[in-house]
Amino acid sequence: MVSNVDGDLGQLSRLLRKNILFSTVQGIRSVVRLYGEIGTDQLIDISEDDYVINSINTEITKHDEQYALEDEDLMFGTQIQFCSLAPKPFLNICKSSGFSTDYLNEILQPSKFLQDALKNQKFSEGKSGSFFVFSPDKKLIIKTIPEHEFSSMKHLIKDYYEHLMKNPDSLLIRLLGAFSLTFVHTKVYIIFMANLFTMPVHEKYDLKGSWVARTASESSSVKKDNDFTSTILMDAEHAKFFVNQIRADTAVLCKHNIMDYSLLLGVIPRNKKDNNKKLKNSSAISLEDLSTRDEENVDLESEPERTSPLPRTTFTSPDGELSYVISIIDILQTYNLDKRMERITKVYALCKDKQGLSVQEPEVYRSRFVEKMSQHIQIQKYL
């Protein structure tokens, strides 16, 4: 009997985690080789049949090309069932995000990846018991997720893929693969994603647009909505892009009954000058002025010219004193029965402000999210 590891990964032994990580890296690399057309950055032709789950039967092996592994923790010879959701669309997302198949094939060498991860990284456990680990160059993340998020990804993948292809500057976090791994009577669900913060960040904020229980503890490195008392400084052109793109991105999520996502904001000072003066010639943003008729496909031709093939997740304030790293994250939580019960409990049993709760119906959540994120922007002008 296979036990579904959903929320109980915090109880797994270090040995099992090590084997999960090794098998995952080995499996992703097999997917890249099978479907990724090594040596070319051209996108793969996609058909309706490419959004299904593909199964790869493999085993934990000692041989990793020129590397020979001698590790008593690894269960060599153990049979693995590794399943990859929509491998071709996800590989196209990798390529369009600047991660070539050659790069993936190199960085995902299991021996190199495992050695670096265990030596320099720590498994981070949240409330669900999930863990994540960085690639050796810190550009990629492998993260375990609960089954319901994997199920959300199955329903979302087609629209998510098509949206990213139409909107290369989408603020949605770049999910690069979704997998399930079954071995030793254990099933684990995994997401493969880009790391947003590849540079040192001075301040980090997780913004949902809610205000009930949205104050971080003093020891937390990531602050929340009530802690964010400043503004995001942009020129009018970037501000228009920002709001219109949030509208388009959240329309896709709302269509799939998704809520509880966040705007992850990183603030990076470029110098230590006093920034108070730059607010004197700033004005608040107007949602009416920044509205767009086509929420599914923002017209990027009218936006500032891109200087990088990567998605526009980094903005610099007009005076050049601050940089912002921005992305919409945690995009796999649906408004399911658990969330409905959570809302009922908080509103009627705990008497919480129903407007200020994070848990809302998807349409309400989206409307508030767009409004609150827009209010965080200041358009910076100079005479």
| Span 133-167, pLDDT tens digits | 888 888 999 999 999 999 999 999 999 999 999 99
How far is CA 65 from each of CA 68, 186, 237, 339, 364, rounded to the nearest angstrom?
Answer: 8, 28, 50, 47, 52
Q: What does pLDDT average to over the chain?
A: 81
**Residues 265 and 186 reside in one and the same domain:** no
> Strand, helix or coil at 193?
strand
Determine contact, residues 197/102, Cβ cutoff 8 Å.
no
Nearest to 330 by CA among 249, 233, 230, 221: 249
Distance CA 61, CA 241 (A): 48
**Residues 18 and 121 reside in one and the same domain:** yes
Decide if pLDDT at 86 tops 60.
yes
Sequence-distant (6+) residues with CB within 8 A of 209 are 225, 365, 368, 369, 371, 372, 373
At 137, list the tokens.
């160059």
Q: For residue 130, what is the domain's CATH number?
A: 3.30.800.10
Average pLDDT of span 249-254? 98
**Residues 220 and 190 reside in one and the same domain:** no
**Residues 312 and 237 reside in one and the same domain:** yes
> Strand, helix or coil at 319?
coil
Residue 61: exposure state from Cβ atoms within 10 A (0-12, 13-18, ≥19): middle
Which 8-state DSSP code applies to residue 304? P
Determine contact, residues 61/76, Cβ cutoff 8 Å.
yes
State the pairing for strand pair 282-284/186-194: unpaired
**Residues 136 and 171 reside in one and the same domain:** yes
Decide if pLDDT at 45 tops 50.
yes
Give residue 337's domain range.
203-380
Using the 3D structure, point to which of 138, 170, 194 is the last residue of a domain.
Answer: 194
Decide if pLDDT at 308 tops 50.
no
Using the 3D structure, point to which of 194, 214, 246 is the last residue of a domain.
Answer: 194
Segment 347-367, tens digit of pLDDT: 999 999 999 999 999 999 999
Using the 3D structure, point to which of 130, 160, 194 is the last residue of a domain.
Answer: 194
Decide if pLDDT at 303 tops 80.
no
Between residues 4 and 15, the one the model is more confident about: 15
Segment 199-251, tens digit of pLDDT: 888 999 999 999 999 999 999 999 999 999 999 999 998 999 999 999 999 99
At 337, list the tokens.
């029965």
**Residues 124 and 237 reside in one and the same domain:** no
**Residues 175 and 45 reside in one and the same domain:** yes
State residue 142's pLDDT score. 93
Number of domains in the chain: 2
Average pLDDT of span 54-63? 65
**Residues 310 and 368 reside in one and the same domain:** yes
Determine contact, residues 220/206, Cβ cutoff 8 Å.
no
**Residues 186 and 214 reside in one and the same domain:** no
Determine contact, residues 303/241, Cβ cutoff 8 Å.
yes
Half-sphere CA count of 88, side-chain side, radius 13 A: 15
Q: For residue 270, what is the domain's CATH number?
A: 3.30.810.10
**Residues 104 and 217 reside in one and the same domain:** no
Decide if pLDDT at 295 tops 60.
no
**Residues 100 and 244 reside in one and the same domain:** no
**Residues 106 and 19 reside in one and the same domain:** yes
State the pairing for strand pair 140-145/132-134: antiparallel
Decide if pLDDT at 62 tops 90.
no
